[in-house]
């Protein structure tokens, strides 16, 4: 009996450890939340298994059914299912935009747009500016603002519950008259900004009106 109880306890700990990792990796659940949630569930489950050896078969079975029913209600109610699917979708989109190939393109394009700020604000620019952006932006991201000294992208896929995106800023300490140095960061709600890339660009490099028209024509 003791051997069965020990094996049951080991299985429970292993099961909820795996579930915690899957929740972190695929759903994007915060590591602390994973540890607290699944750690607590594992401890209670182990305690119930240990307690069952002192109860009659009838009461231990009833206690087990109540606990399993509670866990089913906890994870498979509409709110939990929505949170799981929502988190999985956001995590998938975030992984896409955090690929080096993607954020390098985003950073270089944003830097070029910032250096072309005057043109983008001119009346002659028209809709070519906004239309050309859509040709290189990763899915789920939209321009929040572009200024001479930086720009930011916000993750539209996160919706009202979770914001993530890129932030580009001009490094005035490292920049010179000839070369502008830009720093690209990734930000997400509730976490510190993460530095991704340093971009060095000729300060004279700018977009022209013809460049914007060509971008629009290539859509």
DSSP at 158: G
The yes-or-no verdict on residue 53 having pLDDT over 80 is no
What percent of the chain stands above pLDDT 90?
13
Q: Under a CB-based contact definition with an 8 Å cutoff, are residues 50 and 63 in contact? A: no
pLDDT in tens, 60-87: 888 888 888 888 888 888 887 777 777 7
The yes-or-no verdict on residue 49 having pLDDT over 70 is yes
The yes-or-no verdict on residue 128 having pLDDT over 50 is no
Q: Under a CB-based contact definition with an 8 Å cutoff, are residues 127 and 146 in contact? A: no
Distance of CA 33 to the CA centre of its chain: 16
> Bridge-partner residues for 194, per DSSP?
186
Separation between Cα atoms, residue 154 and residue 181, nearest integer Å = 22
Q: Under a CB-based contact definition with an 8 Å cutoff, are residues 105 and 173 in contact? A: no
Q: What mean pLDDT do residues 124-144 have?
A: 55
Q: Under a CB-based contact definition with an 8 Å cutoff, are residues 108 and 202 in contact? A: no
Categorize the per-residue pLDDT at 144 as very low, low, confident or very high, splitting at 50, 70 and 90.
low
| Phi and psi, residue 140, nearest 5° | 95, -5
Categorize the per-residue pLDDT at 156 as very low, low, confident or very high, splitting at 50, 70 and 90.
very low
* Dihedral over Cα of 20, 24, 27, 29: its sign: positive
Q: Which residue's entry shows tokens 């300490």?
A: 173
The pLDDT score that the predictor gives to residue 1 is: 45
Q: Which of 91-95, 120-124, 136-140 has the lowest mean pLDDT?
A: 136-140
> What would you measure as the largest C-alpha separation in the chain, in angstroms?
84
């Amino acid at each position: 009996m003791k051997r069965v109880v020990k094996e049951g306890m080991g299985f429970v700990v292993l099961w909820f450890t795996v579930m915690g990792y899957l929740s972190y990796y695929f759903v994007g659940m915060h590591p602390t939340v994973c540890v607290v949630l699944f750690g607590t569930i594992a401890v209670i489950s182990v305690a119930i298994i240990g307690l069952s050896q002192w109860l009659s078969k009838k009461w231990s079975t009833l206690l087990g059914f109540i606990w399993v029913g509670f866990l089913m209600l906890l994870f498979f109610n509409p709110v939990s299912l929505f949170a799981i699917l929502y988190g999985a979708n956001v995590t998938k989109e975030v992984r896409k935009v955090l690929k080096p190939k993607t954020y390098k393109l985003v950073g270089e394009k944003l830097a070029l747009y910032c250096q072309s700020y005057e043109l983008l604000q001119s009346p002659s620019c028209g809709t070519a500016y906004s239309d050309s952006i859509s040709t290189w932006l990763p899915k789920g991201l939209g321009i929040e603002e572009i200024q001479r000294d930086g720009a930011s992208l916000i993750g539209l896929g996160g919706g009202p519950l979770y914001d993530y995106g890129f932030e580009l800023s001009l490094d005035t300490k490292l920049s010179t008259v000839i070369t502008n140095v830009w720093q690209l960061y990734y930000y997400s709600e509730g976490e510190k900004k993460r530095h991704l890339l340093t971009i060095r660009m000729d300060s004279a490099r700018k977009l022209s009106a013809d460049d914007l028209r060509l971008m629009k024509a290539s859509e």
